[in-house]
Amino acid sequence: MRKITLVILSLLMVLNVTAKKGRDKKSGVLSVEIDHTGCYGRCPTYNITITADGMAKYDAVMFNKDTGVFEKNIGKKKAKEILDYVSTNKLDTCKDKYRYVPDLPNINCTITYTTKVKNIENVKYAPPVLQALVKLVDDAGTKTDGNGWKKVNGPAGK
């Protein structure tokens, strides 16, 4: 009787783990996009997208060193680190909008999952966990030199 109980419990545990793995794949993060908006002055306006395949797209709209759309392979490992940060910190549970301050640049975030898209406005005034995501994406995807960057379009624009 004990052996039967152990076999049944083991089987239930295996089924539970398998079900969780299936759910994780369905709710996976495909990309993160950070959009730095303009202001009434000369604030840098640009957009960075990091995708699961390791590509970074930098769209320098205005008041940046360069203008145009650039791409670079940052590597799957770095991209996975950023996308895992989103999943680990459950950023899909954040509010859709944080306070807005006119005349100041804002930061908006779009997270694309396999089954949904989460838009978060005014991340600049959001909790530190979202601000840390912006730093991760900016550090990985801002064109600071020509090393590995390829211009794919110009002038800038989505």
Confidence category of residue 25, pLDDT binned at 50, 70, 90: very low
Q: Please tell me the predicted confidence (pLDDT) of residue 15.
A: 55
Query: Poorest-confidence range of 9-18, 91-100, 129-138?
Result: 9-18
When pLDDT is cut at 50, 70 and 90, the band that residue 17 belongs to is very low
Please give the model's pTM, rounded to 2 decimal places.
0.78
**CA-based diameter of the chain, in Å?**
77
The three-class DSSP label of residue 48 is strand
pLDDT tens for 36-86 read 998 888 999 999 999 999 999 999 999 998 889 999 999 999 999 999 999
Average pLDDT value over all residues in the chain: 84
Rounded to 5 degrees, φ, ψ at 152 are: -110, -10
**Residue 19's pLDDT band (cuts 50, 70, 90):** very low
pLDDT reported for residue 20: 44
The domain segmentation of the chain, as residue ranges, is 28-153
Q: What is the pLDDT of residues 88-115, one digit of tens each?
A: 999 999 999 998 888 888 999 999 999 9
Topology (CATH) of 28-153: Mago nashi protein (3.30.1560)
102-to-1, 13, 49, 67 alpha-carbon distances in Å: 71, 53, 25, 25
Residue listed under structure tokens 């975030």: 109
Distance CA 89, CA 45 (A): 27
Q: Are 50 and 68 in contact (CB under 8 A)?
A: no
